[in-house]
Amino acid sequence: MAHDVHRAGVGEGPRVPSARGGVSAAVEEYLRGDGPPPRRLDVARADVYGDDLQLALYLSYELHYRGFAGVPEDLEWDPELLRVRAALEHRFLTALRADTAAHDSVEDALADLLVEPVEGTGVSHYLCAEGELWQVREYVAQRSLYHLKEADPHAWVLPRLWGRAKAGMAAVEFDEYGGGRPDCVHARLFADLMADLGLDTTYGRYVDEATAQALATVNLMSLLGLHRALRGALVGHFAAVEITSSPASRRLAEAMRRTGAGPAAEHFYDEHVEADAVHEQVVRQDVIAGLLAEEPHLAPDVAFGIDVTGYLEDRFAEQLLGAWRAGRSSLRDHHQRSGISLIS
């Protein structure tokens, strides 16, 4: 049954993005009060890593962030929508557990994070060595779904930690939020980077252009952040992001300089070279060690969080590099032309 769209608390966030199939279309119709939620059978048949399911999951998660324009805010905890989200999450998490090659220990998983990919095989290697400005713009546009909410899903784990782990996590998050200075919030710095590149800095602007692979990296953060049972995996995800960030940011800063992206674009990645090198030590010695000292049974979850982050990032990288090396845009099919203008 459709819900009442005239309830109080209608959201004023970004517009609802365009549907990509039957499941995401049904979710959108339900958000607008125009129809029932998707059927379980349709969810079960959707490609778990495909555009339709990943967008449907993104839509359900976004209600916990800024919501959507014209969508009632109390749909965040709507029982029917939560049932749909649970079915989408079950499919996503089941596939991730089946497809991710898991390490036997947290130590092994952390050690592999320090092994650099073969030169030239990563996105940051490519952009640093040979990427063109239009490719930098495409990368940043898709990454905006992640970086404009970068620290938020990780903050959800704070009430689920205590002692050394909580203190370490809060210290790193404090840096991510600018150390109390709004102009230094990392999401703000990323918006400045986007402005340097001539991109629209509006939150959620590039969801329609983002591929299923890009959506999956963002959905993973929300999935792990919203579930207390997945707190160990969220810490693993956080560790993977912080430990791999510094060397990749060094290459991306060079890419910004080489392509003439602009001073704010350079600054964002220069800032992460130094900050994330410090964060790596805090995450290792305080967050992970503190968590496992209190809850050693979470070690497999931490390792899974590290490994699954790498798995989805690799899928995203393969999609980007495959498109660029073929001389075409990495954005969704209806935007497939090199040098596309990303401003509407």
Same domain as 50, residue 167: no
Same domain as 188, residue 62: no
Domain boundary at 42, 68, 98, which? 98
270 Cβ contact list (under 8 Å, min separation 6)? 249, 253
Domain boundary at 98, 124, 157, which? 98
Same domain as 240, residue 162: yes
Q: For residue 8, what pLDDT is reported? A: 44
- Give the chain's domain count: 2
Over residues 89-112, the mean pLDDT reads 95
Q: For residue 138, what pLDDT is reported? A: 98
Q: How far is CA 228 from CA 142, 164, 222, 224, 303, in A?
A: 28, 18, 12, 8, 16
**Taking the model in full, what pTM does it have?**
0.92
pLDDT in tens, 142-159: 999 999 998 999 999 999
Same domain as 300, residue 197: yes
Same domain as 152, residue 279: yes
Q: Do the domain assignments include residue 40?
A: yes
Same domain as 184, residue 44: no
**What's 283's domain CATH number?**
1.20.910.10
Lowest mean pLDDT among 83-92, 110-119, 292-301: 110-119
Closest C-alpha to 340, from 164, 135, 142: 135
Domain boundary at 98, 114, 140, which? 98
8 Cβ contact list (under 8 Å, min separation 6)? 72
Identify how many contiguous H helices and E strands the chain contains and give both numbers. 15, 0
Q: Do the domain assignments include residue 5?
A: no
Neighbour count for residue 21 (Cβ, 10 Å)? 17
| 308 neighbors 220 (Cβ within 8 angstroms) | yes
Same domain as 262, residue 129: yes
- Residue 56 is part of which domain span? 22-98
Q: Cα–Cα distance between 330 and 337 in angstroms, integer?
A: 9
- DSSP string covering 115-177, please? SPPSTT-SHHHHHHHT--HHHHHHHHHHHHHHHTTTTHHHHTTGGG--HHHHHHHHHHHHHHT
Q: For residue 336, what pLDDT is reported? A: 44
